[in-house]
Structure 1
């Protein structure tokens, strides 16, 4: 008969506590979007606020995309452009947004995802995302 040792119990409790702490940090990060990103969406339209700005010398835009809302079966209804080229963004429920450039990071808004992608690209052009490739 196998018995649980103190070391195994302590490891399980520590792992569970660390997991809960990570979930809390991720939730707090996703919920800390600046008010301008949340509140500026037009009345009756769900989703992030549109934006159009120059960041680190690159023109970034984010706008609702009702015409192309379904992209490879995934629907975000929001389009992000960097210098006129589409940056594929994904919404992960309430845990935030990510981009094809920074796929494993979560951001509070598509604007934050676009800004981080621009920083990561270091001047390189955005290559179009092809989900069938």
Structure 2
């Protein structure tokens, strides 16, 4: 029966560490890459922001509209999303996409995708207003 030598063990551990490092680099570059489809959602008139929307998704009314004056704690996304008339807090992360308070660690191509995923995640529950001072 053969035993592993220190050299073989060190080689296996180094190979595994290199593989993990490559996965980390690939994940980091995917987080900073522009979201798929983010350029197709531009608003008419060349404002560069997402286009407004108003639709029913899974029985819930979702709306998105530009909101230049809308801000909380000094941060302005310039865009407002409503689910059944209640505000869903959304944030734009540079060119890497959008996220919502419901799915904060996921990135979406546009606020419409963030709203749809939030509706799916809520499973019928209502959106609770976001209060940054609480």
Task: Give TM class, smaller chain.
Answer: 0.7 to 0.9
Name whichever structure is richer in helix by fraction: 1
Provide the alpha-carbon RMSD of the alignment: 2.1
> How far off is 1:11 after superposition?
4.5
Q: Deviations over 1:79-114 (max 9, x none)?
A: 000011100001111111111111111111100000
The total of aligned residue pairs comes to 125
Q: Deviations over 1:34-64 (max 9, x none)?
A: 76523xx021312111110000010000000
Whole-Å separation in 2 of the counterparts to 1:35 and 1:112: 14
Contact 1:51-1:61 at 8 Å conserved across structures: yes
Whole-Å separation in 1 of the counterparts to 2:68 and 2:124: 30
Whole-Å separation in 2 of the counterparts to 1:74 and 1:46: 18
Partner residue in 2 for 1:63: 65
1:1-133 alignment runs, 5 A limit: 6=11, 9-26=14-31, 30-33=34-37, 36-38=40-42, 41-68=43-70, 70-133=71-134
> How far off is 1:27 after superposition?
5.2
SS in 2 for 1:93: coil
Whole-Å separation in 2 of the counterparts to 1:55 and 1:15: 39
> Which protein is bigger by CA-based radius of gyration?
2
Structure 1, 98-107 or 8-17: larger mean CA deviation: 8-17
TM-score normalised by structure 1 residue count: 0.81
Label 1:58 to 1:36 Cα distance change in 2 as closer, same or farther (>3 A).
farther
> How far off is 1:129 after superposition?
0.2
Contact 2:35-2:108 at 8 Å conserved across structures: no
Whole-Å separation in 2 of the counterparts to 1:87 and 1:72: 16
